Structure 1
Amino acid sequence: MVRLEKDYPVSDMIFSPLQIVSMMSHYQTLRPGDLISCGTSVGARTMKPGTTIDIVIPGIGVLSNPFDDLPE
């Protein structure tokens, strides 16, 4: 079952994506394909094993990441 959990506009972020990339590039070299995780928005819930997180960017595509427990 797919459901929308968060629809968080970048305009609500403390720093804009441009500012984040600028600040990060002062500390490390950013390369094509690098991903920058900006944390969670207000009201984020705990992820449970077996959950798949889909990040959708219209016109670009979908990035799907399964979440599971660490192996014993």
Structure 2
Amino acid sequence: MGIGTSIFLIALGAILTFAVEASIGGVNIDVVGWILMAAGVLGLILTALLWGRRRESVATTEQPVEYRRVEESRDVAPPR
């Protein structure tokens, strides 16, 4: 779940919890809103943790196998 999806779930849950006054038979819309907000917050936390791990740098101690010297040769004399 990405950051955008998490924020969308939080916003949708807040709308259902605080702004909607309708009732559906057998479904409490306030509870659905709280569940969506909790899922959004959990997704936001997990996404932040995964992004933090992804940004860690890995240091290697191995040296390159060999160094090569590159020399440039010109067949034409440089301009005066």
TM-score normalised by structure 2 residue count: 0.19
Higher relative contact order (CA 8 A, sep 6+): 2
**Larger gyration radius, structure 1 or structure 2:** 2
Structure 1 or 2: larger strand share?
A: 1
TM-score normalised by structure 1 residue count: 0.21
Structure 1 or 2: larger helix share?
A: 2
